Chain A
């Protein structure tokens, strides 16, 4: 049969299998190959909630979704075009995410009696043979058998041979999408540089998968997805947590302050620790504390000592840090607190994403305790947003909260990374002299209302700070009622003043005035952007703004909001920014809320846009 070649502008592939099937690796290999080829892309892994859920069961399914294209890609995609199902459970768990008529690549060995039973198929049912998938394009391959055959002469044990299965699938997909396998060759060669037999096996199986596509008539069509039109420049692929880690190192280098990272392991923030622990040659000190409270308190100590001090956690851990965050704000010391949000409340959904900690970030402390909050919009933006958080913390002498979420943390996208020289400078000033004649006043403020940072070791500036209310300028303990009210207002004014030094809110797309504004924050950026593009192509009057500075809000935000008839706020919570906007700007903003541990799809937002505009 003749093979056809079809050009597509974007494709969504979901790699799904048992935790042990190596789907994350397969996905990232395909991703990096696509990235190096010049496709725009966005990815999102879908980890099982349990570390070692029973093999073959639905809770044990691990997935990785890749959306790549020759057009601009904003999200990992809604429904997939291709579903790779290594076993029956992977198929069952992901069928609802597959497009009507989409392609299924099924490993028939994963559909034996045992696997079918574990995936809760009724007795006798087998979707890959009983015709239930007739409306899809089903490609069935006995991957296990093919892998074993390819390695018939290998000296490896059967367990190790079977472990190479994912390479067969990867090779087949590389064939299907006309990809060059150099990146994976190189990767495997480095990874198994000391295990020649395993390297040989992997390379052989990868090639076998590719050849299988070429020589059999399993699939009759190959696809080409051309490079995307992206702004010229040099790109890399990056995940959110990785970007945050690099952003912290960059802020450390640009501020001239050593990075001290005190944290306690928690999903999904821990990868930032793993990443930073590799960068000790940048002078980075990582401290895995005994608990969340110790983690933040140790960073407060480091900040007092003059370091760029950062702590990170997720919602439950941030709750534990609340008292110490209050201390940091009383001490007026620079500190960055990272919250990689996950599904809550309580332990909630550790591996799922949510934006439900906005209120916690803004209000989750005793007393009047304002802290600036910055939210990242995309995986790569985690770099820029955390860098900005560090800059504000240092220049304004305040703790700053950086909000990311599970979707950003584990998602990836191409990044036109900056040059070190092009990064915004961060000005670090240490007090070296007395600032009031013969006295040193630790709470005397500058034009930004920031107090001076005098480090232990500086002769003549010995002073005491603490969590008790302090007298204006002297910092001495004060119970004076007038002073207390003054200081409460002063701390609020200091945070509010940051808005004078941060960029105004910009529109991401659309007209400056009009019928509908979609106002988003955080990781809803991609889905909203995609929806707004589609809506505008259909002729709808809709604009998009994505807020990054959650506190203080940009000074011109009101002006923008008042320029539209309607404001729609999509959030992965029950309406937290919505309440804030309604309260602060007194407009009847409309919420679009999703609390399913899953990001929005662009189509969900598009449906809402159409509904609002048709009225």
Chain B
């Protein structure tokens, strides 16, 4: 089920109406600029009245985001945007709630709220700006930084094994899991639309370049020279094809993905893995395409697109249903009866 909350009577607004009077303070060249621009482009198309939109963030570079969106917004505290958004959505299902968070904010200090938000499946959107570094505190490794990462806090290299955000989201019962990147505006806009239209917690990871503290972290996926070989764009119902001129494909050998050279005679696109967003098992395998730094025979490209999508009842709906059911069963609450309780006595 994919729908958009449309209010035909609401005055239309444009991207310009989403710009606030606040000066944007990210470092010049930061990937956040592109994401802000794509969000400001897509949001007016969604048919949601501007006043019904709320952006909630935690702490970090990305979390400045709400200040730059002329909607309702809250810049909350570190790691807690997901929890604040849960309460807002639970009590105001009519609102379109967007969470803007970073890899430190959502995977480290706010990891607990992140996983619980996914399992509860509030109908909200999470935009995770993953730059694999702590930017605001000036360059320490994050829970998504690779092992061995040399930063100010890890001069001899990080000994932390990183999270695989998708495997985490799958394990946390996420109902919509997608990935895009700051440097591909067309793809990013499409993913933002899909993120919004999913009914349930939509998790969109956006690879975002921090050009000051972690420049080029995602270069191989974004640069022309390597993009074709290193990134694969998955689409529902389509075979997994990538490489220069679409010459490579991926097929499943049991549960093991195998790279297929389509230029070799006998290999056909018909034998490839056809992407199915609703297939949980395949999404699990896809989430494991995560071996960027060791190039080898089985080196797999990093997937972008919607990995997994499932329709499941949203928390706020179930919560409301219980209120409705209670009223139907017991009648609307009567305060005087409640004050009185079950047993009373009178003193004259």
Contact between chains at A304 and B88 (CB < 8 Å): yes
B336 interface hit (Cβ, 8 Å): yes
A425, CB-defined interface residue at 8 Å: no
> Contact at A331–B70, with CB atoms within 8 Å?
no
By a CB distance below 8 angstroms, the chain A residues around B11 are 459
Residue B116, interface by CB 8 Å: yes
Residues of A within 8 A of B52 (CB): 456-457
Which 10 residue pairs across A and B have the least CB separation, nearest first?
Answer: A466-B75, A298-B87, A301-B87, A282-B333, A301-B88, A297-B83, A280-B326, A305-B92, A464-B73, A294-B83
Contact mask A269-295 → B, CB, 8 Å, 1/0?
000000000011111110101110110
Binds B, one of A13-21, A79-87, A195-203, A233-241: A233-241
Interchain CB contact under 8 A, A302 and B336: no
Shortest CB distance B26–A (Å): 14
Whether the Cβ atoms of B84 and A246 lie closer than 8 Å is no
Interface positions of A (Cβ within 8 A of B):
32, 35-38, 183, 227, 230-238, 246, 249-250, 253, 258, 260, 262, 279-285, 287, 289-291, 293-294, 297-302, 304-307, 309, 323-324, 327, 331, 417-420, 456-468, 476-477
Neighbouring A residues of B341 by C-beta, 8 Å: 236, 238, 417
| Count of chain B residues near A, Cβ 8 A | 62
**B91 engages A301 (CB within 8 Å):** yes
Q: List 24 A-B contacts (CB under 8 A).
A: A35-B345, A38-B345, A230-B347, A231-B347, A235-B346, A235-B347, A250-B338, A253-B333, A253-B335, A280-B326, A282-B332, A283-B333, A287-B319, A297-B80, A297-B113, A298-B84, A299-B87, A300-B84, A302-B91, A304-B88, A417-B341, A462-B71, A462-B73, A466-B73
What residues of chain B lie closer than 8 Å to A460, measured between beta carbons? 51
Inter-chain contact B75/A287, CB cutoff 8 Å: no
Known contacts: A297-B80, A459-B49, A467-B76. The answer to whether A287 contacts B343 by CB under 8 A is: no
Per the bound structure, the CA–CA distance linking A37 and B343 in Å amounts to: 11
Chain B residues near A281: list those with CB within 8 A: 323, 326-327, 329-333
Tell me the nearest residue of chain B to A247, going by C-beta: B339
How far does the Cβ of A538 sit from chain B's closest Cβ, in whole Å? Answer: 29
Interface centre among A234, A460, A466, A476 (most CB of B within 10 A): A466
CB-based contact B92/A232 at 8 Å: no
- CB pair A38–B335 under 8 Å, yes or no, is no
- Segment 106-150 of B: residues with Cβ below 8 Å from A: 112-113, 116
B174 in the interface (beta carbon within 8 A): no
Q: Which residue of B is nearest A250, CB measured?
A: B335
B226 lies within 8 A of chain A by Cβ: no
Over the window 151-176 of chain B, the binary record of Cβ atoms lying under 8 Å from chain A Cβ atoms (1 yes, 0 no) is 00000000000000000000000000
By the criterion CB–CB under 8 Å, are B333 and A279 in contact?
yes
Q: What 0/1 pattern do residues 74 to 104 of B give for CB contact below 8 A with A? A: 1111001001111111111011000000000
**Cross-chain contact B95 with A249 (CB below 8 angstroms):** no
CB of A456 within 8 A of CB of B87, answer no
* Complex alpha-carbon distance, A262 and B88, angstroms: 11
- Known contacts A281-B331, A291-B112, A297-B84, A307 near B76 by CB under 8 Å: no
**Residue B263 interfacial (CB < 8 Å):** no
Contact B75 A464 (CB under 8 A): yes
CB–CB A235/B344 < 8 A: yes
B20 proximal to A (CB < 8 A): yes
Beyond A260-B91, A307-B91, A462-B50, whether A420 also contacts B74 by CB under 8 A is no
From B72, B90, B335, give the contact of A287 (CB < 8 A). Answer: B90
Are B50 and A459 touching (Cβ within 8 A)? yes
**Closest chain A residue to B345, Cβ basis:** A36
Chain A residue at smallest Cβ distance from B346: A234
Q: Cβ of B348 < 8 Å from any Cβ of A?
A: yes
When distances are taken between beta carbons in the complex, the residues of chain A under 8 Å from B92 are: 302, 305-307, 456-457
In the complex, are the beta carbons of A290 and B113 less than 8 A apart? yes
- Tell me if A456 and B95 are in contact (CB < 8 A): yes
Judged by a CB distance under 8 angstroms, whether B270 is at the interface is: no
Is A420's CB under 8 angstroms from B339's CB?
yes
Residues of chain B with a CB closer than 8 A to A331's CB: 74
Nearest-CB distance from A404 to chain B (Å)? 19
Asked if A294 contacts B80 (CB within 8 A), the reply is: yes
Whether B76 lies near A417 (C-beta < 8 A) is no
Which residues of B sit under 8 angstroms from A461, Cβ to Cβ?
Answer: 51
Partner of A235, one of B54, B67, B69, B345: B345
Any chain A CB within 8 A of the CB of B6?
no
Shortest CB distance A35–B (Å): 7
Once the chains are docked, how many angstroms separate the CA of A38 from the CA of B329?
34
A233 neighbours in B (Cβ, 8 Å)? 346-347
A417 contacts across to B, CB distance below 8 A: 339-341
B66 at the interface (CB under 8 A from A): yes
Say yes or no: is B178 at the interface (Cβ < 8 Å to chain A). no
- B220 vs chain A, min Cβ distance (A): 36
Query: Looking at the complex, which one of B49, B343, B347 makes contact with A232 (CB distance below 8 Å)?
Result: B347
How far apart sit A304 and B94, CA to CA, in the bound complex (Å)? 14
How close is A436's CB to chain B, nearest CB, in angstroms?
A: 13
B250 lies within 8 A of chain A by Cβ: no
CB proximity of A30 to chain B, nearest CB, Å = 13
Q: A235-B344, A300-B87 given as contacts; is B116 within 8 A of A294 (CB)?
A: yes
Query: Is B335 in contact with A327, judged by CB distance below 8 angstroms?
Result: no
Pick the contact of B84: A283, A304, A323 (CB < 8 A).
Answer: A304
Please state if B343 and A324 are interface contacts (CB–CB under 8 Å): no
B238 to chain A: closest CB distance in Å?
37
- Taking a contact as CB atoms closer than 8 A, the residue among A302, A464, A476 that contacts B87 in the complex is A302
Partner of B336, one of A304, A419, A465: A419
Measured CB to CB, the nearest residue on chain A to B67 is A464
CB distance from B8 to the nearest CB of A (A): 15
